[in-house]
Amino acid sequence: MTKRAVVKGVGHYLPETIIPNAWFEARLDTSDEWIRTRSGIERRHFAAEGETTSSMALAAARAALADSGLVADDIDAIILATSTPDLTFPATATMVQAGLGMTRGFAFDVQAVCAGFVFALANANALILAGQAERVLVIGAETFSRILDMDDRATCVLFGDGAGALVLEAQEGTGASTDRGILSADLNSDGRHRDMLYVDGGVSTTGTAGVVKMQGNALFRQAVEKLAATADAALAKAGLGHDDVDWIVPHQANIRIIQGTAKKLGMSMDNVVVTVQDHGNTSAASIPLALSVGKARGQINPGDLVVTEAIGGGLAWGAVVLRW
């Protein structure tokens, strides 16, 4: 028998404040049509004053626990992917641990920007396979609205805030690709491309949070190629091919990247979960958000083969293949 990390529940949270494209029209030289055409985004959510990454993560975590039928003390570990922590330290995951009333286990953060949730899933899977944890709560949460330059139309219209969470549980499988759970992961990074997407502040440099800087055209070219390649690599590790895939659940950055990657993989957009129009780019939160929405819509069902893939600053990119 083979141990597998199986999805037990999923949930998400979005702030109440919805920011339509028209909000930017009144402030910048831009338009709803310009934003939709270049990104596919129609609206996004911004955190309210006093709303934090940890508070959104906590709400998503509670939703995922409720969906799984588990309680906080059933969880052995929390891994939270974020680039916008509440504080420099401690880890935002420990704040979620306290908020849940979880008095056992351990919690830590992962930082791989928009690819953060894929990296967090791979780490959670490794903990389960190694016997370090039986149940892991994996969260992606971001308040990117706090690090946007609202005068830079190339970046500020793209991002939003939110959180998504997923509960993984150790279960026995046969070792075959028909097993439920995480079947493979492929992780990559290349620090030579740092300047394509970064924040121009930090503790040891400016002592400030900084704002997002992006080379959009260069990043687009890298994204489609690398996302398709990492999805192929993860499928190959699982002994599977494109025809086996029921759903691609990509990082929701830009509809053109999503479409380009699907085309390169030879997949129909009918098999892609798309939420970018409603949420914008929520960085590490986008994949768990899309998984939760996809399940709620009735798209993702037990037994479905799902490929998640993401790319973010670093550059960091990767994919996870799992059977729901």
Which sequence positions are flagged as catalytic?
Answer: 114, 251, 281
Q: How does DSSP assign 214-239, residue by residue?
A: E-HHHHHHHHHHHHHHHHHHHHHHTT
What phi and psi values does residue 106 have, to the nearest 5 degrees? -145, 160
Q: Parallel, antiparallel, or unpaired for β 106-110 and 77-81? A: parallel
Q: Are 77 and 124 in contact (CB under 8 A)?
A: yes
On the 0-12 / 13-18 / 19+ scale of CB atoms within 10 A, 198 is middle
Nearest to 79 by CA among 180, 167, 145, 169: 167
Stated as kind and residue range, the H or E segment containing 98 is helix 92-100
What phi and psi values does residue 105 have, to the nearest 5 degrees? 75, -155
Inter-CA distances, 214 with 30, 84, 199, 230, Å: 18, 17, 9, 22
CA–CA dist 115, 98 (Å, integer): 26
Nearest to 201 by CA among 213, 211, 192: 211
Residues present in the chain in total: 324
Q: Are 290 and 309 in contact (CB under 8 A)?
A: no
CA–CA dist 322, 244 (Å, integer): 11
Taking every pair of C-alpha atoms in the chain, what is the biggest distance, in angstroms? 60
